[in-house]
Amino acid sequence: MKPTILLNDQDEMDELSRELAAPPPPPLRIIAVTSGKGGVGKSNVVANLGVALAQQGLKVLLIDADLGLANLDILLGLSPQYTIHDVLQLRKTLPEVLVEGPGGIKILPASSGIPELSELDEYQKMFLLNELDNYSETIDVALIDTGAGISRNVLFFNIAALERVVVANNEPTSITDAYALIKVLATQHNERRFKLLVNGLSEPREAEAVYRTLLKVSERFLGRDISLEYLGHIPHDDAVSKAVLKQQPVLTLYPKSRVAKSFMQMARRLWEMPAPEEMDGNIKFFWRRLLQYQI
């Protein structure tokens, strides 16, 4: 016989009614923004997408995962006193290291010029996973700015994310290296879902050609079950380089520019895309929180 639960207190009944009537919270989005080749504007994309998402009312955390060559704090004009290195060295906790950026976004800054961070060992990876999993503040989306290439750190942060956005341009080396990254993640880590963002091109048709090339090669050599969605393209705009020199997001410095409007549209499109319904077999950041949405 099943036990009977009695609610004798009116407050308890009212609270239960509110819980049942309340819409479920939006799923936590954990998105790695990555690239096969450096110099394609990946960190700038992360910074401005983060600001754009925050301007739409979302709580955003940016993780600078280019651990030995930090860029996010520089692009955002920040001078963090502590970094992820202090967390890994047990000198500071993760909340003590986080800094606030434009629009209320939170940033976990990385370090520059520390060679030992270029390859995290297994203990450091598990420690970082645990620290992020225990982070108690509510967030809607975490954007992870990975390094470029196929190093162990880059692969680790990609498989620890729930979604992956590959940034590329129309240079042959960028396209080749983007495919190499997708191939390694697909064949060695069974990651099959990717989104492509083409950055810094003047014409939409040029960006679409990059997407078609990568899609064709990926399906031919990696199989039809590879999902490569076209997120869109960010146009070339001189406002970007001006904003970089002034260490501010182009969204806040030149909000009416063509590229700022593109970032807003891109952020809206990214957020409106459905989140993956199931986790793969790889361990994820915030995995306990993710399970709450999956149960």
Enumerate helices (H) and strands (E) in the chain, giving the number of each.
13, 8
- Residues 258, 146, 66, 293, CA torsion sign: positive
Contact 69, 149 (CB under 8 A): no
Characterize the bridge pairing of strands 106-108 and 99-100.
Answer: antiparallel
In a domain, 21, yes or no: no
Whether 94 shows a pLDDT value over 90: the answer reads yes
**In this predicted model, which residue has the larger pLDDT, 290 or 165?**
165
Q: What token pair was written down for 264?
A: 């807003």
Q: How many CB atoms lie within 10 A of CB 294?
A: 11
What Rg value do the Cα atoms of the chain yield, rounded?
Answer: 20
Q: Choose among 32, 35, 34, 42: nearest CA to 200.
A: 42
Q: Is the CB of residue 157 less than 8 Å from the CB of residue 181?
A: no
Output phi, psi for 39, to 5 deg: 85, 15
283 pLDDT tier (thresholds 50, 70, 90): confident
Written as six digits, the tokens of 196 are 């492509």
Res. 143: pLDDT tops 50? yes
Q: Report yes or no on 166 lying in a domain.
A: yes
- Specify if 53 maps to a domain: yes
Q: Which amino acid is at 257?
A: S
CATH code, domain carrying 72: 3.40.50.300
Instruction: Tokens 């700038």: give the residue.
Output: 44
CB atoms within 10 A of CB 192: 15
Provide the 3-class DSSP secondary structure of residue 78. Answer: coil
Residue at 151 is within a domain: yes
- Indicate the pLDDT class of residue 277, thresholds 50, 70 and 90: confident
Does residue 7 lie within any of the structural domains? no
| Residue 113's pLDDT band (cuts 50, 70, 90) | confident
- Asked whether residue 199 is assigned to any structural domain, the reply reads yes
Q: What is the pTM of this model?
A: 0.89
The three-class DSSP label of residue 249 is coil
Is 208 within the bounds of a domain? yes
Q: Are 234 and 264 in contact (CB under 8 A)?
A: no
Instruction: Answer whether residue 27 shows pLDDT above 90.
Output: no
Q: How many domains does the chain have?
A: 1
CA distance 72 to 62: 9
Q: For the segment 219-258, what is each residue's pLDDT rounded down to a tens digit?
A: 999 998 999 999 999 999 999 999 999 999 999 999 999 9
Closest CA to 107 of 129, 136, 139: 139
Cβ within 8 Å of residue 78, ≥6 positions away: 99, 101, 107, 109
Whether 243 maps to a domain, the answer reads yes
Interhelix angle 238-245/258-272, nearest 10 degrees:
90
Angle, alpha carbons 44-45-46 (nearest 5°): 90
Q: What pLDDT was estimated at residue 2?
A: 46
Q: How many Å apart are CA 60 and CA 72, to the nearest integer?
A: 14
What was the pLDDT predicted at 89?
A: 93
- Domain span at residue 221? 26-294
106 forms beta bridges with 61, 100
